[in-house]
Structure 1
Amino acid sequence: MTTEALRTGERKLELGRSLSSFMGRLGLQCTGGHWGTIPRFRDQMERLFGAAISTRWKHEQATEVHVGGSNLLLAEEFDLWWTPQKLLRTPPRSSVTLSQKFFEQLVESPIPLDLRAIRALKQSPLSLDLYTWATRRVSYLERPTLISWAALRRSFGAGYADTPQGRGKFRAKVLDALGRVRWVYSALRFKVEDGGVLLLPSAPHVPKLTK
């Protein structure tokens, strides 16, 4: 969505004549049935476009308490059309209209992703998470920054127990996922240390446009 919003400069993004073709762009095989890829992909897209991000913060000082918050709606409206096995007519194009606030944030702080990397990593959710996280973090990184294992587990390892065994399993999964990320994103510079992952200033995976 970031890439398309920057390319077109419009809040309304065209996803194609049918979302089956959009799945093909992501390297996903289109299969029907209850356990097929199409129902699952459609469900995830409906969840994404119906999502809202809510942030809350609280600050206490002496006798004063300050509570604030912000709500971000991703999509203002969406139309999703799926190609059946036999078409009686040409369906309209699928589209999503981003909310004004979300669109402005995408344009102000864009971090485009390479769809080839998405296709290569699609079998590993943790690798996808670390890829998108890493290319965003290094895009504004000015000096080496150590991300502790505890911080990484809070962000990506909610399903792992806070025990020596759970922490060990999570660390092993991260090391494997980072190896996959480095394979598709060779410019990413990092070092694995006892205290965590040391991120080094690197070029974002999709180079910034020069005016």
Structure 2
Amino acid sequence: MGTIHQLLEQQGKQSAIEMGTVSRDVIEAAAQYLSEEDNALACAYSGWAQCALPHRRQPVEQAWVVSSERMRLVVEPGRRPIGDSDNLEFVGVPFGSYARLILLYLQTQALRTNSREVELGRSWRAWMSRIGVPWGGSSGKAVREQAELISRCRLTFHFQGDGRLGLVNQSVVDGALFLEREGVSRQERLSLETAKLSEGFFEALKRHPIPLEEAAIKALANNSAALDCYIWLAYRLHSLAAPRLVTWKALKAQHGSGFKELYHFKSKFPSVLQLALAVYPSANVEVVEEGLILKPSRPPVAPKLIASR
């Protein structure tokens, strides 16, 4: 268990905050994680640990491209009709924490039911509520927007390296049922009732899933960068045979595409890392001048727990 978790166990949250040695948001995340009694299993495709969606809204016509050592993610924005005309408008690519939460739900449910078709409706709302995202008001509107962007975009994972290229899939959602037109003309939005993962994505997900803790996702639900970092650590640490250095340059390529300069990323990423470590007590990571040293660690979800669910 990490230092912050030992501190919380021994002193309690308020004392930990008053000591001032750890930032309050890290203490809050760790305390929320430790307080969860019913910790369900969640899952993500391993490609998301190597390349992720943008954190902020992009220009609606602009594609999103991000690369890691072995993977490249390309997300092309979708289009929708403008009112009753034959004209189309770009809607942009999915972004932020809500897009990630929706995708985590779709992947978890698909594996849980062993079906590409995932029901939304009540089960989706219940999961989002459990994660801590209110369905009504501005948050509900934002969730519906991200559902539409995910449904309309064209998303592709490419393998790269060793002189080989490979295509994983050409979309996340292969088919969806749209209901309840809300508003008219350019303000029109559509809500989803069911979603069907593409066959390629579903097969890749079944072959390469990353087991995650729902409690960890809940504690990081409002921070897309920390969610990405947690998924990355869950993917990397348990498979290491020995400590490995990941340079700041490599980290920026994967986690810092929104930063223009390396020194800006280098000054901000440690706080993101601390949030991810707050919900992954067994993670063993050291920050050094050259970057991060990743050390062999237990996975966030024990294999025996995965087998029993």
TM-score, normalised by the number of residues in structure 2: 0.54
Which residue of the partner structure matches residue 75 of structure 1?
173
The counterpart of 1:194, out of the listed 289, 298, 301, is 289
Whether 2:228 is the aligned partner of 1:129: answer yes
Instruction: Tell me if structure 2 keeps the 8 A contact 1:19–1:94.
Output: no
Q: Tell me the secondary structure at the aligned position of residue 182 of structure 1.
A: helix
Correspondence list, 1:57-206, <5 A: 68=165, 70=167, 72=169, 73-79=171-177, 94-162=193-261, 167-206=262-301
- Supply the RMSD in Å over aligned alpha carbons: 2.7
Q: Tell me the secondary structure at the aligned position of residue 204 of structure 1.
A: coil
Q: Tell me the secondary structure at the aligned position of residue 235 of structure 2.
A: helix
Relative distance call for 1:16 and 1:143 in structure 2 (3 A) is farther
Bigger CA drift: 134-143 or 124-133?
Answer: 134-143
Q: Distance in 1 between matches of 2:168 and 2:206?
A: 18
Instruction: Tell me if structure 2 keeps the 8 A contact 1:2–1:111.
Output: no
Bigger CA drift: 149-158 or 116-125?
Answer: 116-125
C-alpha offsets along residues 56-92 of structure 1, whole Å, 9 cap, x if unaligned? 7599xxxxxx89552512121123668x9xxxxxxxx
Instruction: Tell me if structure 1 keeps the 8 A contact 2:131–2:218.
Output: yes
Q: Unaligned 5+ residue runs, structure 2?
A: 1-105, 183-191
Which residue of the partner structure matches residue 26 of structure 1?
131
Q: Tell me the secondary structure at the aligned position of residue 78 of structure 1.
A: strand
C-alpha offsets along residues 124-155 of structure 1, whole Å, 9 cap, x if unaligned? 22111101111112242222221110011111
Which residue of the partner structure matches residue 53 of structure 2?
none
Q: Distance in 2 between matches of 1:148 and 1:25?
A: 36
Query: Residue 27 of structure 1: CA displacement?
Result: 0.7
Q: Distance in 2 between matches of 1:69 and 1:210?
A: 30
C-alpha offsets along residues 35-59 of structure 1, whole Å, 9 cap, x if unaligned? x111211111222233321537599
Q: Stretches of 4+ moved more than 6 A in 1? A: none
Query: Residue 186 of structure 1: CA displacement?
Result: 0.4
Q: Distance in 2 between matches of 1:53 and 1:143?
A: 32
Q: Distance in 1 between matches of 2:241 and 2:142?
A: 40
1:11 partner letter = R
Q: Distance in 1 between matches of 2:207 and 2:129?
A: 29
Which residue of the partner structure matches residue 55 of structure 1?
158
2:279 partner letter = V
Q: Unaligned 5+ residue runs, structure 1?
A: 60-65, 85-92
Q: Distance in 2 between matches of 1:13 and 1:23?
A: 15
1:193 partner letter = V
Higher helix share: 2
Q: Distance in 1 between matches of 2:215 and 2:164?
A: 42
Instruction: Tell me if structure 1 keeps the 8 A contact 2:220–2:226.
Output: yes
Query: Residue 98 of structure 1: CA displacement?
Result: 1.1
Query: Residue 187 of structure 1: CA displacement?
Result: 0.9
Which residue of the partner structure matches residue 30 of structure 2?
none
Q: Tell me the secondary structure at the aligned position of residue 209 of structure 2.
A: coil
Query: Residue 188 of structure 1: CA displacement?
Result: 1.0
Report % sequence identity.
31
Instruction: Tell me if structure 2 keeps the 8 A contact 1:20–1:38.
Output: no
